Amino acid sequence: MKLSVLIPCYNEIETIREIVGRVRAVDIRLRVRDGKFKLPLLPDGTVELTVDKEVVIVDDGSTDGTRDVLPELAALPDVFVYYHERNMGKGAAVRTAIEKAAGDIMLVQDADLEYDPRDYPALLQPIIEGRSQVVYGSRFLGGPRKTMFFSHMLGNQALTLFTNILFDTILSDMETCYKMFTRAVAEQLRLKSHGWGFDPEITAKILKRGYRIYEVPISYNGREYNEGKKISWRDGLTVMWTLLKYRLIE
């Protein structure tokens, strides 16, 4: 079984080496109760499953020197790098990554250092055990986190509430980066959004197709604007419009 870690990247020269190193360093071993894996039983009746991974980076037209760094990462045996000739947005980069990925399971990983790859096993467990085909890592379920701006928390909760009302669900963190899904789910979605519409579009399409999203707590180390954070209140309007659009038309 293979996990494809999808990294959309735009002007992340300060962090791209570090995040790839952290992703590659995670050793994913899960204890599961499932005979389909045909592995030796441990004394407690579980099996130990090792999940392989690949890193799929899509550079979305970076102009800060990130592209000069990526060839050295592409030389690593489990890292694959693709390029957009111009900046097209996070959604477009994730779509390209999905098209190129070879894994049975896929996870979106931002190129900054806000999210910790050591949370991968917790995200994978519900999928491996057959409890869900989609898992979101929530920053609001009690995991350790650096405090964020109050305005960001308020905006996130408002957008998540809007999602819950539209799609009759109880998500706690719709805007999380950590969205994990099986290849079977990815192949159904036909994603179209280019920029910040990616998160609401994928969530809307997952829920409209009848999948229930499983949430697990994750850690979070939010960065400041002077460290490269790229979100504004205008992006919130894009998110709301995208949610409404996909609730009504597709």
Residue 249 forms part of a structural domain: no
Residue 202 forms part of a structural domain: no
Does the global pTM surpass 0.85?
yes
Residue 244 forms part of a structural domain: no
Beta-carbon-side half-sphere exposure of residue 240 (alpha carbons within 13 Å): 12
Asked if 178 and 136 touch (Cβ cutoff 8 Å), the reply is yes
Residue 68: the pLDDT is: 96
Residue 153 forms part of a structural domain: no
Residue 153: the pLDDT is: 79
Max Cα–Cα distance, the chain, nearest Å: 55
Cα distance between residue 36 and residue 199, in whole Å: 33
Q: What are phi and psi of 29, to 5 degrees?
A: -125, 125
Cα distance between residue 82 and residue 97, in whole Å: 8
Q: What are phi and psi of 95, to 5 degrees?
A: -60, -45
- Per the structure, the complete domain to which residue 111 belongs is given by 2-147+175-191+211-224
Long-range contacts of 131-134 (CB under 8 A, 24+ apart): 131/214, 132/211, 132/212, 132/213, 132/214, 133/181, 133/182, 133/184, 133/185, 133/211, 134/179, 134/180, 134/181, 134/182, 134/185, 134/206, 134/211, 134/212, 134/213, 134/214
Cα distance between residue 77 and residue 220, in whole Å: 29
Residue 250: the pLDDT is: 67
The angle formed by the CA atoms of residues 140, 150 and 207, to the nearest 5 degrees, is 40
Task: State how far Cα 227 lies from the chain centre.
Answer: 21
pLDDT in tens, the chain (250 residues): 899 999 999 999 999 999 999 999 999 998 887 667 767 878 887 888 899 999 999 999 999 999 999 999 999 999 999 999 999 999 999 999 999 999 999 999 999 999 999 999 999 999 998 999 999 999 999 877 666 667 777 888 999 999 999 999 999 999 999 999 999 999 999 999 887 788 999 999 999 999 999 999 999 987 554 444 455 556 778 888 899 988 987 6
Residue 228: the pLDDT is: 46
For residue 21, the domain's CATH number is 3.90.550.10
Residue 197 forms part of a structural domain: no
Residue 8 forms part of a structural domain: yes
Domain count within the chain: 1
Residue 196 forms part of a structural domain: no
